[in-house]
Chains A and B, each alone.
Chain A
C-alpha cells in the first residue's frame, strides 16, 4: 500500500471512531435521529408568560382529583342509604299488610 493509501485509511478510521459519519452510509438513520431530537432552545421563557393552556398549574388537577374522589364516595354512600331506606319502608309496609290480614 502506498503512503497516500495508508493516509486515507488512517483518516477514515479516525473519523469513523470519533462517530462522525461524514460519508453517505447510514444517512437515513442519521436523518431519523435528527428528526427525533427536540428543537434547540433559543430563549428561556418564564412560565407565567406562556399562554394559559400551556402553563398547566398542578393545583386545579390536585383539587379536581380529591374533589372527584370525595364526591363519588359521598354519592355512593347516599345512593346505598336511600336504597336501604326504600327497601326498609317496603318491608315494613308488607309486614303491616300481612299482620292486618292475619297471615303474619
Chain B
C-alpha cells in the first residue's frame, strides 16, 4: 500500500467519528423533522454511487481502447463500489420516503433509473464472476452503459414529474444543513478512495498470483 494510505485511513476514521456529532447538531427540517437526517448519509452515498459508476465506465472505456489490464482492474474495483454505495442509497432512500412520502417506493424516474444503474453494476460483477474467457470485454461494454445512465439519473428530477427532491435543494441549503452534508460528503469521498485503492490492490495481487501459478505449472 502507498505511504498515504494509513494516514488517510486515520483521517477518514476521525471524520466518521465527528460526522454524527455534526449531524445530531444540525437543525430539524420544518416539514420532515427527525427523518430528514437520513439525508446526510443518503445523499453522500448517492454521489459516491454515481462517481463510482463514472470511474468504472471511464476505466472500462480505456481498457477497451488500450487493452491495458490496469484499467480493467480499476473498473472491476469501481464496479464493486457502485454496488456497495448503490445498495446504501437504495436502502436509506426508502427508509426516508416511508415517513416523508408515506410509501417505501415510488416508480418515478429518479428511483427507477438509480435501480437500473445499480442492476447494471450487479450484472457487471456477475459477468466477471461467471462469464468465463472474454467476459472482461463484455463487462467493459456493459460498464459504458452504466456510465451513460449517470447524467440521466442526475437530471431526471428536473425534467420529469417526480416527488423526489430536485437538484436545486443542495445549492440553496443554509449553512446549518450544508456543513454536516459537505463534511459527510468529503468523508464518503475519502472512504471511496481508500476502498478503491484496497480493491485495486486485491486485483493486482490476484494478477501476481496467476503469474505465480503459471510459473509453478511450467
Q: Which residues of A are at the interface with B, using a C-beta cutoff of 8 A?
A: 56, 58-59, 61-62, 64-66, 68-69, 72-73, 76-77, 80-81, 83-84, 87-88, 90-91, 94-95, 97-98, 103
Contact = CB atoms under 8 A, between A and B. Distances in A.
Interface in B101-152: none
A35 B91 CA distance: 34
B190 interface: no
Interface of B: 20, 33-35, 37-38, 41-42, 45, 80, 84, 87-88, 91-92, 95-96, 98-99, 191, 195, 198-199, 201-202, 205-206, 208-209, 212-213, 215-216
Contacts of B199: 80
Nearest to A103: B215
21 contacts: A56-B98, A56-B99, A58-B34, A65-B38, A65-B92, A66-B38, A66-B41, A68-B92, A69-B45, A69-B92, A72-B88, A77-B198, A80-B195, A81-B198, A84-B198, A84-B205, A87-B209, A90-B209, A91-B212, A94-B212, A103-B215
A68 B215 contact: no
Contacts of B98: 56, 61
Given A69-B41, A72-B84, A84-B198, A62 B35 contact: yes
A98 B87 contact: no
B195 A68 contact: no
Nearest to A101: B216
Contacts of B99: 56, 58, 61
A80 B195 CA distance: 9
Nearest to B77: A80
Dominant secondary structure at the B interface? helix
Closest 4 A-B residue pairs measured CB to CB?
A: A58-B35, A58-B34, A94-B212, A65-B92
A59 B88 CA distance: 18
Contact of A72 (B42, B87, B95, B206): B87
A53 to B, nearest CB: 12
Given A61-B38, A65-B92, A103-B215, 18 more contacts: A58-B33, A62-B37, A65-B38, A66-B20, A68-B91, A68-B92, A69-B45, A72-B84, A72-B88, A72-B91, A73-B84, A73-B191, A76-B80, A87-B206, A94-B209, A94-B212, A94-B215, A97-B216
A95 B205 CA distance: 13
A49 to B, nearest CB: 19
A81 B198 CA distance: 8
Given A72-B88, A94-B213, A97-B216, A88 B96 contact: no
